Chains A and B, each alone.
Chain A
């Protein structure tokens, strides 16, 4: 049970807040903002999820409904995959708006994601965005400061501090009373967030993930309430406590996250996709052109095959040599392409990790990493999307190549350009298009997300520890 003195002090503080304009304005503004952000973002995400699922279905259906044709045409017809947003992106959209959400999959090439939504914002949301996570990470601390910077120092300035202490309240009781009051006030901003989490938990997100996600934000709010109360106790004048808190807020919430990303780019520069493409192409050229069965790169392949089936020419092979070449070169190309794609992803990840190290300097960065990782809206999830898209690409391209090898006669195939009738013969049945499997993107398994977020949880806990120590120090130095 919270003791009576603390309760009284807490109630007193609330009475004061409800009397002053600043505190009530901040409380109303904060909760209205969070609610609006939640409602708008929920609609937006649901709409995006819907649109992308629809496009995905349509892309699949169109692929499957293609008529009889040459299997290699289908390799070039290609396929689209769309990334649907994760349930928690209602609160933490993370990199979702900065990455494209559609990829065109085709033979011989690995394309990048297209249509990043951030393009469509005309620069309005470069600093701020109406997402619940931005409000919670950046604005809520400012609100907590505005409400609480004077909670203890005001008593001192008014001379009531001596009165309170001489009337028997201990220093801890006084400070805890103020802290509890401030925590209650900050929970007004936290509450909508928790409600949204409840909504997410009831859709289809792991309860454990949602609970930890909530706990992360709750810790963050607690942390700020403690820091604000500690500063208010430490400094004699409200104005000093105010200035110091604003400076802390500026560095932790605005400055350090951005510095982190700037430092990461300069410490770990990464070459862009275009530049990597040149290297890929250089390597690929030595692998031969899969469209040309006479490319010298396939001489050994041809000889091995002739030996294996004990025949003298490719015409006598029981399989379609053109298809074999396509299959073989696609496989070898994929190895090269993926080697580069993988190293690019590793570079991006290394950059992100450097930026996340700034969590040791700013609790905002710590919670941001924690919440994007848990929500499945971090760069890792985007990379997984790229990898899964690549698996799907190889699967349908090689599936079609297999059809090419087994179901299309070599002579008909080589003869296909001689006349229209010949072209009409060099086709396979549309039923073969079923090699395409359905694509539905899911975020990482809850346990995987939890383990990658653990480190940032540690950063957050460290900050809570620091704040509590600060509070202890402040209480010890509290003298009227």
Chain B
């Protein structure tokens, strides 16, 4: 049984150490600095999206005003797509600095556009991001080790150990309450700034609570590891620093060795098509089409778009000097020729992510990182969802323009009002495969 008096006494002891107060201050500053930098980053991303949206509308208006045929509009008009940061993204930047979160797409073959990434400075990305998730998953365990490794040994060295055990009503209670008065303040200095930033960013209560639970879970797991090593009978004769080395060893294996081994094994196990192959295949199909008989393109296009079989006829007088229908048809065929590779590329990313999930069960730090980035929707899946949203949006563009190009060739600016708009919420049509989308209609 712990009593309030025990806790009060231990708190007195623990807080009397300058080292402890200093550690708390450092953790508080690190947590705040990480949160602030993530917050600033997300504010900047949000602002970028707003500026881009405004520019995008202006630019498209300007382009639309100059065009006189659907083909020209489709060729020149770009559309902005983006994945806004979630309210919790400030705490876990996650995959947002590796996967693209903004694109401008037009009606041309999508495979040539979707892999373009407008990512941040690669040198900074490579140095690593200093976000809250990093503080919690990588640094916090080290602080826990530093605070708890000599929990008992410190007293032994000061020759207070036996005295403490004798004077306390219950010898267990001394260590339990001492651990608690160490960990509770540690959790508080980590989480209080987080909660403050989360409220400022408008995160939902449930997501804040979930993130707090994950952080508390991390603290508990690491405290358990540290205390278990410290209390293990077989290490009873080890010195405190010797024990600390063991604890650091556990940190090293779980935080560094498990992930890099996992990465190497996963990369070897999951076959990924070479990115270069996708784009070369697509280019060959798109640009090669100029030199192929027109019928060849139509044949392939009609296979997937039978509804336009009777509309392929081309009237230079009406459609202008250039056959836009055929032009966009071979863009579509180009995408289709690369779609198998492209699907395989995405599938391999998903598969790797799945396997990484299993690997993270062996590494508390990875698990924390992944759970937090799931909570903040900055995980691989969210980035893939965004990519598929872009694909679906592009499919809806195609659907719109095909309707205009094939069925209603009379150009009218008013019809452009029905141009699909990218939104982050709507699902457009079924994601994953552009081919199927256009098939359904």
Contacts and interface: CB of A to CB of B under 8 A. Distances in A.
A335 B239 CA distance: 68
A55 B115 CA distance: 17
Interface size class of A (residues with CB under 8 A): 35 or more
Given A122-B349, A123-B379, A127-B259, A250 B139 contact: yes
29 contacts: A22-B245, A25-B249, A55-B274, A59-B280, A97-B126, A99-B122, A104-B283, A120-B267, A122-B263, A122-B352, A123-B370, A127-B256, A129-B263, A139-B256, A239-B153, A243-B19, A247-B146, A250-B142, A258-B128, A259-B33, A259-B130, A270-B120, A271-B48, A273-B118, A274-B103, A372-B123, A378-B123, A382-B122, A417-B321
A379 B128 contact: no
A432 interface: no
Interface string A424-440: 00000000000000000
Contacts of B103: 274
B252 A139 contact: yes
7 closest A-B pairs (Cβ-Cβ)?
A115-B275, A258-B130, A130-B260, A122-B356, A98-B122, A261-B124, A417-B321
Nearest to A266: B40
Interface string A271-287: 11111011001100100
Which of B30, B116, B146: most chain A CB closer than 10 A?
A: B116
Contact of A130 (B59, B94, B263): B263
B362 to A, nearest CB: 11
B262 interface: yes
A74 B89 CA distance: 44
A80 interface: yes
A355 B122 contact: no
A82 to B, nearest CB: 6
A261 B129 contact: yes
B224 interface: no
Contacts of A262: 33-34, 37, 129-130
B291 A67 contact: yes
B61 interface: no
Given A124-B259, A250-B142, A258 B98 contact: no
A258 B62 CA distance: 42
Given A111-B116, A281-B59, A142 B279 contact: no
Nearest to A37: B260
Contacts of A124: 259-260, 262-263, 266, 356, 359, 366
B260 A129 contact: yes
Interface of A: 22, 25-26, 33, 40, 51-52, 55, 58-59, 62, 66-67, 69, 73, 76-78, 80, 82, 94-95, 97-100, 102, 104, 111-116, 118-130, 139, 142, 146, 149-150, 237-239, 242-243, 246-247, 250, 254-255, 257-262, 264-266, 269-275, 277-278, 281-282, 285, 348, 351-352, 355, 368, 372, 378-379, 382, 417-418
B102 A274 contact: yes
Contacts of B30: 255
A95 B55 CA distance: 31
A352 B123 contact: yes
> Does more than half of chain B's interface fall in helix, strand or loop, or is it mixed?
helix
Given A73-B290, A80-B279, A237-B157, 17 more contacts: A73-B287, A95-B126, A102-B276, A119-B99, A120-B267, A122-B355, A123-B366, A123-B373, A126-B128, A127-B138, A150-B241, A258-B134, A261-B124, A262-B129, A272-B118, A281-B59, A372-B123
Contacts of A116: 98, 117, 119, 122
A115 B115 contact: yes
B336 interface: no
A290 B266 CA distance: 48
A8 B165 CA distance: 44
Interface string B48-75: 1001100110010010000000000000
B101 to A, nearest CB: 10
A348 B267 contact: no
Interface in B355-406: 355-356, 359, 365-366, 369-370, 373, 379-380
Contacts of B201: none
B123 A348 contact: yes
Contacts of B322: 417
B78 to A, nearest CB: 9
B127 A118 contact: no
Contact of A238 (B137, B241, B246): B241
A120 B33 CA distance: 29
Interface size class of B (residues with CB under 8 A): 35 or more
Nearest to B356: A122
Contact of B123 (A67, A73, A112, A379): A379
A352 B121 contact: yes
A278 B59 contact: yes
Contact of A239 (B120, B240, B262): B240
Contacts of A111: 116
A127 B142 CA distance: 14
Nearest to A276: B118
Nearest to B41: A265
Contacts of A130: 260-261, 263-264
Contact of A69 (B37, B116, B290): B290
A80 B139 contact: no
Contacts of A58: 280
A433 to B, nearest CB: 13
B55 A278 contact: yes
B94 A351 contact: no
B242 interface: yes
Nearest to A20: B242
B48 A275 contact: yes
B150 interface: yes
A307 B290 CA distance: 36
Contact of B116 (A26, A114, A119, A355): A114
A69 B280 CA distance: 20
B83 interface: no
A102 B52 CA distance: 26
Contacts of B272: 120
Contacts of A247: 146
Contact of B380 (A94, A123, A273): A123
Interface string B19-36: 100000000001001100
Nearest to A350: B121
Contacts of A273: 118
Contacts of B261: 130
B14 interface: no
A281 B52 CA distance: 13
B177 interface: no
A275 B102 CA distance: 10
A161 B257 CA distance: 38
